[in-house]
Each structure stands twice: as C-alpha cells, then as structure tokens.
Structure 1
Amino acid sequence: MLKRCLVALVAGVLLAAAFEPVAAAYVVPVAVAGFALATRGLRARSGFVVGLVFGVAFYFPHISWMTAVGTDAWLALAGVESLFYGLLGAAAAYLHRLRAWPLWLAAAWVTVEVWRSGWPFSGMPWGRLSFAVADTPVAPALAYVGMVGVSFLLALLGFLLAALVLAVARARDRRALVAGAALAGVALLSVLPAAVPFEPATEETATVAAVQGDVPGPGNDILYDFRGVTDNHVEATVDLAEQVAAGTVERPDFVVWPENSTAVDPFADASTNAGIRRAVEAIGVPVLVGAIVDAGQTNVLNQGIVWDPVTGPGERYTKWHPVPYGEYIPFREFFTGQFGRLAMIPRDMMSGTRETPLEIAGTAVGDAICFDVAYDDGIQAQVRNGAEMLTVQTSNATFIETDQIEQQFAITRLRAIETGKTVVVAATNGVSGIIGPDGGVVASAAPRTQEVLVAEVGLWEGTTPGVLVGPWVGRLAAIATGIGLLLSVLAYRRGRGTTAPRNADEASPDPRAAREDEEQESVR
C-alpha cells in the first residue's frame, strides 16, 4: 500500500502541474496513468485510500489560491473535492476487473468530474481535465465534443497508457500491441480537429468595449472602497466617450463593465445610480453593468444589467452559481455560530435561471458572471438559444495576487473554442480580455491597471457540435459507470468464497484475482 500511495501522490502532484501557473498539459495522460497503476488490483476500501491520496496531492495545490479567502476555506474545499477521487479509487477497484477496463475507468472519471461539478451545493468544476488543454493540439476538439468529451478523451489516453505499461511489463506482446494501437488511435482522434478546426460562419460584427476600472487600495478587497470602484468605471467610460468624440477610438455598439462594478444596489443608492447614468449618457450606447441588487431583507442578486442611455435599465442576467460560504451560507444558523467570519456575509445570494441571451444593441449576448464560466449549464443554454457572442463579467480582486486569475482566464479561452463564440471579459482589476472563437487573445489588460479594450468582434448565432454533444457524453458516461459497477459486483457475488485472496488488504473483488495476483506484483 505504501508504494501505491507514493505512486498516487506523485501522479496527483503531476496532474496539478498540468494547470496554471505551470500549465504542462502534456502530463495529463501520465498523471491519469499513475492513478490507474496505483489503484489496480485493490479492494474498494484500499482503492478509496489510494484515490484519496491522489486527490489530496492534486487538489490542494491546484486551488491553493483559496488561501486568499482563508486557510480554513482552502482546507475545507480541497478536502471535500479530494473525497471524490477517493470514491473514484473505490470504483476503480471494481472496474479494473472488466474487459476493456480503460473505457470503463474513463467513463467513471468523467462521471465523477460531472458529479463534483454540480454537487454538493453548486459543486466545484475546477480541475476538470479539459481545463488543462489551452494552447495544445487537443483544444480544437472542444468544438466537436465539448468539455466533457475532451475530459473523456484525456482520461482514456491515460488509462490506455497504463494498460500499455502493464502489458509491456508482463511481456504480453499481443496485449501491448492492442493497447498501443488503441492509444495511438485515441491520440490521433484527439488531435484530428486541430487539422480541421471548427470555423463559425461569422457574417456580422459588433464593436464592443470592456472596461477594467481597477480596485483602489491594496487591490484585493472590493469593499475597501466600493464607491471608488464604481467611480473608476464611470470615469474610464467617460474618458472613452471623450476619445470617441475626438475620433481617436471607434464608437462601440455597447460597453461591458465587470461584476461588482457597483457593490451596492444601483436602484436604491442615489449616488451609484447617478454615476451609472452619467457614464451611459456620455458614451451614448448601452452598458452592461455588473451590480449587486437587493432582493428583500435577507437576499441579494448578482446581476448583469443592460443600461440603455434612453430607456435606462432593462434586461438582466443573474449569476447562476453563487459560491457557497462565499456568497451564500448553507445551514446558516449552524455555521455562523461556529465560524464568526461568516457573519461578514449577512445576506444570501440567490441563483439565476435565465437561459436566453441578453439583447444588447441588437446583439444576442450570452452572459456569465465570474465562476459561471467554469460551469456548462448556463453558458450552453444561452448558446443553444441563439447567443451570438459571450461576455464574462468577473471580479477576481480577492485572488488578484494568485494563480486563480490565470486559471479562470484559461477556462474562458476554452469556452470560446467550445462554443465557437467571441468572448469579451471585463474584470474589475484583471484579467480583462477579448478572446476570439479559436481561443486566441485579441486584446488583454494587465492586472492592477485601468484600461478600456475596444475591438470589432465577429457574431455567430449557430451552435457547435460540442455544445450539443457534450452533455450527452456526461449522461452516457454515468450510465456506463453504473452498468460497469453492476457487472463487477455481480461477478464478485458469483465468485464470492470460491477463491481466497492471498492479501486481504490488496485483494481484488473479482474471483479472477487469484489468477492475476502474480501479475499485480509488477505494480505493487
């Protein structure tokens, strides 16, 4: 078990290195292969332990930026997410015993990714394998099979690599040939879209401005001077209007402000309302304002509000995925009594459900607020309903000195590829940018600066195969995982008691384990 735990530990750390700031995406299959080798031939209980070691080694460094919120928050969130890999390790103990086990394990990996991305509460999608493929030949596959599909391909590559290693180690030439051929085939399939990338047929364009107003003071606290944050965005927009009037900058069709550009309700706070109206009237085009809006005495809404220079506030998008214990508190009565810091969140943020794009200056705009960009549901719903481009309003001030802003921007670039849409990102103080449908960065603003990005972007109302297929890959993977576990359990029950395992700690749940015990020594 110690050797297996060490293998899992190394594999987990290796997977963490696949993401920003290291961004060594090519280690993903190697890390997944390490997980497979570490969990092969174990009972479920031992598989859980080894999987948990893998999860801890991966997830704790991967979201180390959560320490900006608090060490306790980092430990709690990373600990919960690590448990999912423990469950995956337990499932692997059974699925390893099926024929074509790399396929079954790849389905299980994707099932766990989808599961933990939506549960508990709103889930935590950070760390999906597909989020590591920016600037790699695999990235174009997102437009064809979506985030879930790319995760499946990467997991399958890793498990096939493990199968090849096992076959070579045991001098089983025929199995090595089959595993090698399958590995080469899946690798080719994964990079084939790079040769024939999906190209949306953009016929119309819009000129869009993204305002990064910056955050006063230390830069990591919106509430340090929340009125100063709003003033910065107002003044930056007024300056843009002056440049437009002088003819040095093209007039945008609309302007995007970030999340928390107003941290108080602009309908209740006269000063904030006046500032927004001043900016909108100066530029003379709609502004998508990021605002916190009151929803009674105990709730708030995190919204993107289309503010028109003539008609005033209109359509709104409400954040789909507020952050538990960051923007709302589940089981509030219990936890606020135990953790005094949670008293800083006096009201719970409510979730949005809008599935249609916003109509801004004649353009159908799919919006996402901050962490929404990492979830499939809200963005894909708006794309299926005709969004011609996407905007991401985000406030990463809390994480401005961490790797989180790089990770989120990478995810945003991948969303552009998956959806075939231009994505305009407005952040309070970084990273703002304009991203093309191929994931390329057209323009960006450095963190901790005040800057306005203006660009003409292509519009496309179609839907990529990845948006249509991706959710079904997850559903089919879940069904396959359930079938695989059922088959394994039935096989175990049929053979239970017929073969005594040599090592109770590392015995297989399948009666064929006795015939393979000697082979397992190569990975123990």
Structure 2
Amino acid sequence: MVEPAESSASEADSPESQRREAPHPLPLAAGAAMAVAAGVALLLSFPTYGLWWLAPVGVGLLAAAAHRRRFRAGLGLGALAGLVLFLLLLRWTNLHTGLAPWLLLSGLQAGFIALLGGATAYVSPLVDRFRWAWPPATALLWVLQEAVRDRAPYGGFPWGRLAFSQEESPLLRLAALGGAPLVTFGVALAGGLLVTAAWRPWNLWPARLARGRLVLSAAGLALGAVAVTAAGLLVPTATPSGAPVTVAIVQGNVPRMGLDFNAQRRAVLENHVTATIALAERVAAGREPRPDLVVWPENASDVDPLRDATASRRISDAAAAIGAPILVGGILRGPAEGEVRNVGILWRPGTGPDLDQTYVKRHPVPFAEYMPLRRVARLVSEEVDRVADMVAGDRPGVVRTGPVTVGDVICFEVAYDGIVRDTVTNGAGILAVQTNNATFDVAEARQQMAMVRLRAVEHGRESLMASTVGVSGFVTTDGEVHEDTGFNTQEVVVRQLRVSEYRTLATRLGVWPEMLLVGVGLVLLAGAVVVRRRG
C-alpha cells in the first residue's frame, strides 16, 4: 500500500502531471475579494500613505485573482481593482469640480487596469505551461498597460504608475538605469514572484507538502521578491559635480483654496511679491544667503504681466529687491481671443521679462486646460465653458538664467517621461517643477512630489517643486526631500543646489528601455495566442 502512495506522490510532482492538472481558477468570490484587496494595497502604496512595499502585494493579488479565468472575467476583476484604486487615489479631483470629472477620469483609468486583468487571464495557459515565466509575464503586462495609459487618450494620464509609489523604496534607484518603466517592471516582477510562490499550495499541494517541496519553493520565490527589491540598493545615484547655485522657492499661498483662486489673481500675485521682498530683507540683514535664482510657482501671476502695467511693476519691484532673476509662473493671454498660455517666464532685475527665456507649457491637461469635444462635454456640465483653450508650447522647458540652466516643467508635466527628459538633453543643470495645488489637497501635492523624487534620480539632477500652496521643497539626486514646506501656508525656503552635466543611462537611452519591455510584452501575448490555439 505504501509503494503506490509514493508512486502517486512522485507522479503528482512530475511535470507531466502538472501539465495534466485541470486549470481551475480560484473561486469567483475569492477572486473578487482579492481584486478589491489588490486595489486597496496599491492605493496604500502611494502618498500620503506611503506603504510602498504593498505595491508588489497588490500586483500579486490581482494576478492571482485573474489567473486561469476567461478574458471577460479577467476584465471584470481588473476593473474592480482599478475602480478601488483610482476612485480613492484621485478623490482630490472632486474637491471643487463636482462628481462628474472624478467619476469619468477614475472610470477611464480603471478601464486600463481592466484590460490588464483580461490580459493576465489570457496568458494563463502560457504561464501554467512555463511556470518560470509567470513573474516576468506579470511585470511585462504592467509595463505594457502603463505605456498605453500614459499616452492615450489625448496624451494620456500617467497618474498612478507603479513607479510613482516607490519614493522610499530601494527600487527607486532603478530609475537611473531605465526610468519609470524599469521601476514599474521591478515592482511588478516582485509581485509576480510573490503570486508564483503563493499559488503553489493550489497546485497539487498535498503531495508537495508531504515532500517538503512546497515550503522550500514558496520561500525561495518570496525571498526572490525581496532580493529584486533590495537589488535597487546596488544601483548608484549620480553625484553632481558642477558649481553650486543658491535657489529660493517662494510659496506665496492663496487667500482661499478652490477654483476661485482665479478670482483672487491680484491677491495671489501680491502674496508672492511681498514674500520675496521679505526674503530680500532677511538677505540684507545677513539671515539668509542671497539667491542666484528665485522660483515662483505656476499661477503666481494669473494677471498677464505683459499686458497689465501694475502686475509688471510689482514683479519688477520683487526682482529689484532680491537682486536676482525670478522664474515666474504666469498666464499670458492670446495670441487669439479666448486663448491663454501657461508659462514660466524669466524676470530679470532691472530689465524685466526675458521673452527669449520663456517656457510655454507643452502638455495642457485635457478637459481642465483645454476642452476637446466641447459640445459633448457641455452635455455633462455647463462648467466646461469656464475652461479657456490653452495653447501648447512647442519647445522643451529650458530656461537659461545666467547662473544656471533650468529644466522647467509645469504641474502635471512632471508625470510625462519625455517632457522631463527633453529639458535635460537640451542642457538643463537642475530641474524645477512649477505647480499650483490650490484646487486640490495635500495628497495630490505629495503624489506630485513623489514624481519629482523619481525624476531627480532618473536624470541625476537636483530638483525642486514650487507650489502656490504647498507642498514645495528641494530634492537631491538620491531622491531625498529637503526643506519641504507645509500645505496651505506661506513659506520661503532657500537651498544650495549643485549643477550637473552628467547624463545617466536612463537619460541617454530615453524611451528605448520601455519600448524593449513593451516589445517583449507583445511577444508574450503572441505566445499566449499560440499556446491557446494548440491547447
């Protein structure tokens, strides 16, 4: 009687027996619960929660929930996880604009996670046949999903990328090698290792447990996930060796949070002027070093200073008092009636605006800074007519101040890989993100700061974020934040930054690491087609 049992255990553990195993998924109720848990785990990995180590757990939970299901069931489970993630991650979008934009945006982003869930289900026969392929397949599908979501529709919306959840993780350093896509790959690879380890109990677990193989294999894969994460520590971060420059961030604050900050234009401008003049007084008294450059945030001057004499005079007063150029975040009207430009314009003491050193935002936000399908959008909300069509710029945000060449990006542009990289390849020695968070909350500001941290590591550039209301601060090339401000406060912070001309591997390679991973991901899907047709 013993011999057949041993034979059965050996048979059950053989590759042939594994291939003959019926491909049963987890119970649907368990799958739905895991999809919800995946959304929650992914949410908690982002600021302001910051539990970055939960991102691989969320990836693994979704992979397990969708495994061995029909494509449509995978779609549903992916949509469930996506809705949990984005409805909560993007809840700041409904603070002042109502439910419709929040629900539509969250639903659209969840749709991409739904496609990810469907693709995960579709490749199940392939990863069942080649179990070693499950972790890299999981990682490749996440990169493929983000590559599409970052670009479509209307230029995409990269918020919620796995890479942006890793601000305190060792994996952040992978950005120096392959940018945000490689960080996402590392996170999802760790998640794939976890699900491969955890799935083993469902794959002939009695025989494996009897022979002690279950514990060893699962432990080995789980340790592999930890090793993938820890491997980021082996990647060195750039050390800028250029001349130091002293930079001041002026966070002027607004009288009232919300959409009506536009109705407070002169008050917001005056806040930034008076805060800069107060800094000049501290410099004159020897309490602060004199800055080489002052950075004001996006929308610091919503009064067009090229058309309004009072606004122009007040900005000139501030520049003269501090004795340094000011990178002013402003709104310029025109060129056509009803059009505006969102700009960073260099204002020099004594000479005023330097129009040759003006950056026009290249990626206005659809439905917020310009209105595609205006007639259709008007059916959803009449508020769309409050949105003027913002004219997009056509040049990288390179501003040459004299002491330093600044890579300027405005607000949500920090989420787009190519827009940031273009400033570095065109000569930027430091990075500056000008943003206005007056219509959002501290969660959105912290999520944006996490993106700045990744960009600093990715390109080896000391960086800063200047916000009207916070959070503002400086970021060194190891991703650490310094002198960060509070939210909804008026503050001025000053720090010495080092200029860099060094280009990281990520900067040199640009989009190629992502294209390589996307290409392999497409080969994976093609392989799944072949396996299904043969199966």
User: Same fold by TM-score, threshold 0.5 exceeded?
Assistant: yes
Unaligned runs of 5+ in 1: 496-510, 512-524
Tell me how far apart the structure 2 counterparts of residues 138 and 223 of structure 1 sit (CA, whole Å): 40
- Tell me, yes or no, if structure 1 residue 7 matches structure 2 residue 46: no
Unaligned runs of 5+ in 2: 1-27
Tell me how far apart the structure 1 counterparts of residues 380 and 84 of structure 2 sit (CA, whole Å): 28
- Tell me, yes or no, if structure 1 residue 341 matches structure 2 residue 383: yes
Tell me what 1:391 maps to. 432
Q: Which of 298, 302, 327 does residue 288 from structure 1 map onto?
A: 327
Q: Which of 269, 273, 295 does residue 230 from structure 1 map onto?
A: 269
Q: Could you tell which deviates more after superposition, 304-313 or 157-166?
A: 304-313
Indicate if the aligned counterparts of 2:418 and 2:510 stay in contact, CA closer than 8 A: no
Give the C-alpha shift of residue 180 in structure 1.
5.5
Indicate if the aligned counterparts of 1:322 and 1:349 stay in contact, CA closer than 8 A: yes
Tell me what 2:299 maps to. 260
Indicate if the aligned counterparts of 1:433 and 1:444 stay in contact, CA closer than 8 A: yes
Give the C-alpha shift of residue 178 in structure 1.
6.4
Mapping of 1:170-181 within 5 angstroms?
Answer: 170=203, 171=205, 172=208, 181=220
Give the C-alpha shift of residue 342 in structure 1.
1.0
Tell me what 1:318 maps to. 360
Q: Which of 99, 106, 121 does residue 154 from structure 2 map onto?
A: 121
Tell me what 1:444 maps to. 484
Tell me what 2:103 maps to. 75
Mapping of 1:337-376 within 5 angstroms?
Answer: 337-345=379-387, 347-355=388-396, 357-376=398-417
Give the C-alpha shift of residue 412 in structure 1.
1.6
Indicate if the aligned counterparts of 1:95 and 1:105 stay in contact, CA closer than 8 A: no
SS of residue paired to 2:487: coil
Tell me how far apart the structure 2 counterparts of residues 120 and 7 of structure 1 sit (CA, whole Å): 29
Compared CA separation, residues 338 and 33, structure 1 to 2 (3 A): closer
Indicate if the aligned counterparts of 1:222 and 1:260 stay in contact, CA closer than 8 A: no
Tell me how far apart the structure 1 counterparts of residues 240 and 269 of structure 2 sit (CA, whole Å): 38
Tell me what 2:202 maps to. 169
Tell me how far apart the structure 2 counterparts of residues 154 and 404 of structure 1 sit (CA, whole Å): 22
- Tell me, yes or no, if structure 1 residue 381 matches structure 2 residue 419: no
Compared CA separation, residues 5 and 169, structure 1 to 2 (3 A): same
Indicate if the aligned counterparts of 2:249 and 2:295 stay in contact, CA closer than 8 A: yes
Give the C-alpha shift of residue 488 in structure 1.
1.8
Tell me what 2:520 maps to. 480
Q: Deviations over 1:355-390 (max 9, x none)?
A: 362111231110111111121111111112221111
Give the C-alpha shift of residue 186 in structure 1.
5.5
Give the C-alpha shift of residue 82 in structure 1.
0.4
Q: Deviations over 1:204-261 (max 9, x none)?
A: 1001111011101346642231100001111111222222223322111111000000
Q: Which of 34, 37, 44 does residue 71 from structure 2 map onto?
A: 44
Q: Deviations over 1:173-226 (max 9, x none)?
A: 779866755654464243234255323242310011110111013466422311
Tell me how far apart the structure 2 counterparts of residues 164 and 55 of structure 1 sit (CA, whole Å): 24
Give the C-alpha shift of residue 102 in structure 1.
2.5
Indicate if the aligned counterparts of 1:418 and 1:464 stay in contact, CA closer than 8 A: yes
Indicate if the aligned counterparts of 1:215 and 1:221 stay in contact, CA closer than 8 A: no
Tell me how far apart the structure 1 counterparts of residues 477 and 312 of structure 2 sit (CA, whole Å): 35
- Tell me, yes or no, if structure 1 residue 403 matches structure 2 residue 443: yes
Indicate if the aligned counterparts of 2:333 and 2:340 stay in contact, CA closer than 8 A: yes
Q: Which of 457, 461, 464 does residue 501 from structure 2 map onto?
A: 461
Give the C-alpha shift of residue 430 in structure 1.
0.8
Q: Deviations over 1:300-346 (max 9, x none)?
A: 1111001112443221112232221111111113322542111111x
State the TM-score, normalized to the length of structure 1: 0.89
Q: Which of 26, 49, 53 does residue 26 from structure 1 map onto?
A: 53
Tell me what 2:252 maps to. 213
Identity of aligned residues (%): 38
Q: Which of 134, 143, 150 does residue 101 from structure 1 map onto?
A: 134
Look up the equivalent residue of 1:281 and give its one-letter code.
Answer: A
SS of residue paired to 1:192: helix
Indicate if the aligned counterparts of 1:254 and 1:361 stay in contact, CA closer than 8 A: no
- Tell me, yes or no, if structure 1 residue 198 matches structure 2 residue 226: no
Give the C-alpha shift of residue 136 in structure 1.
2.4
Compared CA separation, residues 154 and 338, structure 1 to 2 (3 A): closer
Tell me how far apart the structure 2 counterparts of residues 450 and 133 of structure 1 sit (CA, whole Å): 29
Look up the equivalent residue of 1:421 and give its one-letter code.
Answer: R
Give the C-alpha shift of residue 138 in structure 1.
2.3
Indicate if the aligned counterparts of 1:305 and 1:316 stay in contact, CA closer than 8 A: yes
Give the C-alpha shift of residue 145 in structure 1.
2.8
Give the C-alpha shift of residue 470 in structure 1.
5.9
Tell me how far apart the structure 1 counterparts of residues 149 and 507 of structure 2 sit (CA, whole Å): 20
Indicate if the aligned counterparts of 1:367 and 1:390 stay in contact, CA closer than 8 A: yes
Q: Could you tell which deviates more after superposition, 25-34 or 447-456?
A: 447-456
Tell me what 2:313 maps to. 274
What RMSD in Å do the two structures reach over aligned CA positions?
2.0
Larger RCO (alpha carbons 8 Å, 6+ apart): 1
Look up the equivalent residue of 2:83 and give its one-letter code.
Answer: V
State the TM-score, normalized to the length of structure 2: 0.87
Give the C-alpha shift of residue 468 in structure 1.
3.4
SS of residue paired to 1:445: coil
Look up the equivalent residue of 1:326 and give its one-letter code.
Answer: A
Tell me how far apart the structure 2 counterparts of residues 473 and 174 of structure 1 sit (CA, whole Å): 36
Tell me how far apart the structure 2 counterparts of residues 335 and 303 of structure 1 sit (CA, whole Å): 26
- Tell me, yes or no, if structure 1 residue 428 matches structure 2 residue 464: no
Tell me what 2:5 maps to. none
SS of residue paired to 1:25: coil
Indicate if the aligned counterparts of 1:368 and 1:391 stay in contact, CA closer than 8 A: yes
Indicate if the aligned counterparts of 1:434 and 1:444 stay in contact, CA closer than 8 A: yes
Tell me what 1:504 maps to. none
SS of residue paired to 1:313: strand
